[in-house]
Amino acid sequence: MPSPNTICLSDPQQTLCSLPIHTGSMGPEVIDVQTLYKETGKFTYDPGFNSTASCRSQITFIDGEEGVLLYRGYPIEQLAETSHFLEVCYLLLHGDLPTPEAQKAFEHDITMHTMVHDQLTNFFKGFRRDAHPMAIMVGVVGALSAFYHEALDIRSKADREMAAIRLIAKVPTIAAMCHKYSTGMPFMYPQNQLGYAENFLRMMHATPCDHYAANPVLVQALDRILILHADHEQNASTSTVRVAGSSGANPYACVAAGIACLWGAAHGGANESVLHMLRTIGDSSRIPEFLAKAKDKNDPFRLMGFGHRVYKNFDPRAKLMRKTCHEVLDALDLHDSALFKLAIELEQIALEDEYFNSRKLYPNVDFYSGIVLHALGIPTNMFTALFAMGRTVGWIAHWDEMISDPEHRIARPRQLYTGPGRRNVPGFQPS
Ligand code: CMC
């Protein structure tokens, strides 16, 4: 009889092996297959990692069936209502909400590192003006690796903390510089007296010629967008950061890898794709035509901003973002704009459609965040850069957790080889 916390794997003839089962604090139990190959000579096959836990983690918990998202145990709804983004950053990095003193010190540290080394600005000149901001971000964030040799010992906790502070502080500055570069405007320096979200909006929208004051409703909306995007357990870009970091690569290079992965339309690029899709649809009379395309298996078109690998009932971030969306549209008196009306109509029609209902395809966070960012005056090609700003803390928290985990090893998956068997190169003469 196997013990209650093991599972036996057998083929019709025999028991192959007995595998341990681990129980987390929440979520499904996990079968530990680490010894499977040694004991049976077989690998597991799980493309897309539908059934694979790649690590132990204490940072974020998701229950996709129930629509639950917890950062360090705290529900996202509560954090979004009561906290600021930098408090959430502290929580994700340190495991608990900060005391007022710790919060002050953390905010001070971030503020003191928002400026980038002046030589970093030279990297921008190497890019064409029409380069996508994400292309520039991958390069420039990776280039940070070359600036901080004195604090790049990944085994040092102090160096890891310094890298976290630098990345959270500098990514918004770099993101805003990407935008300014593409429009031919001068870079705006960060202002230390401003909060994180307000500072970013100023670096994006202000010019040296005019006074700039951000609308507080928009500052709050951006802060909420950052909170909702801060972490999402082992998503594609976070897993990329972990895989890159598993070899001992430095944190700036790992986060650059995360940014590259995030850029894809199935992941962080979705908010940008939502806006492109709405512009392509153009008018509500064409919604049925595009719904038909989304359902047609021979057509690559998908309804962007709908569906999620993990959330199969609703995305809790989408609920909050929907609320923020309406607050922003009210504040800016934009409810009647053609694009927003089209988005609301599309949402309603898709929600009532049998295809989307039966597959549990609901609007995800990016359906609404794209609309909010558009209302905030953020150009469409900057949407994913803002997602990267929010997610940087999650990436670095996971990277740090992995480096600190004594069980961590270089990530090296195996494969089911389906190519040709061994054969000789034509003309090869064995000696
Ligand atoms: N439009 C039309 N059909 C869809 C869509 C969609 N957006 N999403 C999934 N489906 C269909 C899919 O064709 C499949 O149908 P069938 O069972 O008939 O073969 C079924 O729904 C299940 O989909 P899946 O491809 O197995 O789902 P997945 O978990 O592999 O993909 C996803 C998840 C998010 C990549 C996908 O839903 C998608 O491409 N959505 C649009 C892109 C998007 O909005 N991405 C943002 C995700 S939220 C931000 C983040 O966390 O990164």
DSSP per residue over 30-76, as a string? EE--TTHHHHHS-----GGGTT---S--SSEEEETTTTEEEETTEEH
With H, G, I as helix, E, B as strand and everything else as coil, classify residue 416.
coil
d(CA 412, CA 37): 14
Give the mean pLDDT of 330-351: 88
Nearest atom, ligand 1, residue 267 CA: 52
Q: What are residue 70's phi and psi, to 5 degrees?
A: -120, 130
Is 153 among the catalytic positions? no
Lowest-pLDDT choice from 8-12, 33-37, 252-256, 274-278: 8-12
Q: What is the structure's pLDDT at 2?
A: 54
Give the mean pLDDT of 264-276: 89
Reference 127, options 137, 119, 117; nearest CA is 137
List the structure tokens of 400: 């740090």
- Given pLDDT bands bounded at 50, 70 and 90, which one contains residue 28? very high
> Ligand 1 centre from 38 Cα, in Å?
36
Query: Using a 6 Å CB cutoff, which residues line ligand 1?
Result: 232, 235, 266-268, 270, 294, 302-309, 359, 361, 364-366
Which residue has the CA at smallest separation from atom 49 of ligand 1? Answer: 267
With H, G, I as helix, E, B as strand and everything else as coil, classify residue 16.
strand
Nearest atom, ligand 1, residue 268 CA: 52
Q: What are residue 293's phi and psi, to 5 degrees?
A: -65, -40
Give the mean pLDDT of 301-313: 91
> Ligand 1 centre from 252 Cα, in Å?
30
Give the mean pLDDT of 338-348: 90
Which residue has the CA at smallest separation from atom 15 of ligand 1? Answer: 359
- Partner residues linked to 363 by β-bridges: 306
State the catalytic residue, choosing from 223, 231, 315, 366.
Answer: 366
235, 303, 361, 386: residue to mutate for ligand 1 pocket, most atoms within 8 A of CB: 361
- Given pLDDT bands bounded at 50, 70 and 90, which one contains residue 278? very high
Q: What is the structure's pLDDT at 14?
A: 83
Reference 90, options 81, 77, 75, 103; nearest CA is 103
- Given pLDDT bands bounded at 50, 70 and 90, which one contains residue 391? very high
Q: Which residue has the higher pLDDT, 300 or 3?
A: 300
**What is the largest distance, in Å, between two alpha-carbon atoms of the chain?**
81
Nearest atom, ligand 1, residue 294 CA: 2
Which residue has the CA at smallest separation from atom 29 of ligand 1? Answer: 309
d(CA 398, CA 232): 10
d(CA 373, CA 375): 5
225, 308, 349: residue to mutate for ligand 1 pocket, most atoms within 8 A of CB: 308
Which residue has the CA at smallest separation from atom 39 of ligand 1? Answer: 266
> Ligand 1 centre from 53 Cα, in Å?
21
- The contacts of residue 212 (CB under 8 Å, 6+ apart) are 202, 205, 206
- Partner residues linked to 112 by β-bridges: none
Q: What is the structure's pLDDT at 285?
A: 95
d(CA 211, CA 119): 27
**Amino acid symbol at 339:** L
User: What separation, in Å, do the N-terminal and C-terminal C-alpha atoms of the chain show?
Assistant: 56
Mean of pLDDT over the chain: 94
**32-48 pLDDT per residue, tens:** 999 999 999 999 999 99
Q: Which residue has the higher pLDDT, 22 or 340?
A: 22
> Ligand 1 centre from 306 Cα, in Å?
7
* Exposed / middle / buried, residue 333 (Cβ in 10 Å: 0-12, 13-18, 19+): exposed
Which residue has the CA at smallest separation from atom 14 of ligand 1? Answer: 359
Check: CB of residue 306 under 8 Å from CB of residue 356.
yes
> Ligand 1 centre from 343 Cα, in Å?
18
List the structure tokens of 286: 């064409």
Q: What are residue 6's phi and psi, to 5 degrees?
A: -135, 165
pLDDT tops 70 at residue 1: no
pLDDT tops 90 at residue 16: no
- Given pLDDT bands bounded at 50, 70 and 90, which one contains residue 4? low
Is 366 among the catalytic positions? yes
Give the mean pLDDT of 81-104: 98
> Ligand 1 centre from 359 Cα, in Å?
9
Give the mean pLDDT of 355-382: 91
- Given pLDDT bands bounded at 50, 70 and 90, which one contains residue 209? very high
d(CA 247, CA 268): 25
This prediction's pTM: 0.92
Reference 202, options 176, 171, 174; nearest CA is 176
